[in-house]
Amino acid sequence: MRSHFLVFALTTILVLSIGVSSTFALEELIVVTTDKTSYAEGDTVIVSGEVREILTGFPVTLQVIAANGNLVTIEQLQVGADRMFSTTLSADGPLWSSQGTYTIKVQHGTDARTAETTFEFGGTTGTGTTPTFGQSLTEGEFGLTYQITGGSVVSIIPDVDQSSLIIVIEASDDGELTITLPREIIDAKIGDADDDFFVLVDAEEVDFDEIVTETDRTLTIGFLAGTEEIEIIGTFVIPEFGTIAALILAVAIISIIVVSAKTRLSIMPKY
């Protein structure tokens, strides 16, 4: 009787373990969690997760999306032999300015191997995400968000004639610039279809990674220590700026005509 009970128990455990394994394989090919459900400015966010199956040659791509929809960071994480991955994030800086629910998204290879989790963040006291701009791009409505390692951004200047943004940096080490470009500021299109941006690092063409959405395009560009300039070339940049320039030119022409007419009238002899 006891042996029958032992066989039954072992069979039950085996069935349950197979059921759990199948559920993970079908529904949770990858999972991700954080060590807490909410954080304050300056906290360390510990992110960890596990994959059901290691795909050789495919790291885990991690994205953190702020409460306002802006991209906070993109990382590629290596999966250990135990099928685990992890990273730590520092919850401070201009990209963490918004308050609310933040989303962490992870992907391992295919679209089927994606997962996400959320946490609450109280926001920061930073002054915003817009660096020093040239021309008319100092207004908040034209703000760009970016993250840089290995250096700092000095200025971002639009070149309307070249349909490009010129990003001046100080690179103390090899690094990466991840910058989110709202389509209303700069885009690359052929007709209604997206085209590729053309990126130059110190006048040399380079490859880059890109994430595309309906509202913006996020580029991750690598650079070497000592790099001074990154130029992103599209098919148009800030059409509003071009319109303003045209209006200023039109006003100037009208003013010249009016002044010229008054001058001619003043020098005409009176009879």
Q: What pLDDT shows up at residue 194?
A: 92
Q: What pLDDT shows up at residue 19?
A: 41
Lowest-confidence pick of 64-73, 195-204, 213-222: 64-73
pLDDT in tens, 222-237: 999 999 999 999 998 7
Pick the more confident residue, 158 or 234: 234
What is the average pLDDT value for the chain, to the nearest integer?
77
Q: What pLDDT shows up at residue 93?
A: 75
**Tokens 């290995």 sit at which residue?**
150
Q: What pLDDT shows up at residue 161?
A: 79
Residue 123 has pLDDT above 90, yes or no: no
Q: What is the mean pLDDT of residues 60-73?
A: 87
Residue 143 has pLDDT above 80, yes or no: no
pLDDT in tens, 78-113: 999 999 999 999 998 777 878 899 999 999 988 889
Q: What is the mean pLDDT of residues 2-11?
A: 51
Pick the more confident residue, 237 or 179: 179
Percent of the chain with pLDDT over 70: 69
Residue 203 has pLDDT above 80, yes or no: yes
Q: What pLDDT shows up at residue 26?
A: 47
Distance of CA 225 to the CA centre of its chain: 22
227's tokens: 């790099």
With b for 16 or more beta-carbon neighbours within 10 A and e for fewer, the 1-29 pattern comes to eeeeeeeeeeeeeeeeeeeeeeeeeeeeb
Q: What pLDDT shows up at residue 140?
A: 36
Q: What is the mean pLDDT of residues 179-199?
A: 90
DSSP the chain: -HHHHHHHHHHHHHHHHHHHHHHHHHH-SEEEEES-SEE-TTPEEEEEEEESS--TT-PEEEEEE-TTS-EEEEEEEPPPTTSEEEEEEE--SGGG---EEEEEEEEESSTTSEEEEEEEE-------S---BSTTTTSGGG--EEEEEEEEEEEEEEETTTTEEEEEEEEEEEEEEEEEEETTTEE-EETTEE---EEEETTEE---EEEE-SSEEEEEEEE-TT--EEEEE-SEE-HHHHHHHHHHHHHHHHHHHHHHHHHHHHHSPP-
> How many beta carbons lie within 10 A of that of residue 131, not counting itself?
21
Could you give all domains of the chain from N- to C-terminal order, each with its CATH number?
2-121 (2.60.40.1930), 140-241 (2.60.40)
Please state whether the predicted TM-score (pTM) of the whole model is above 0.85: no
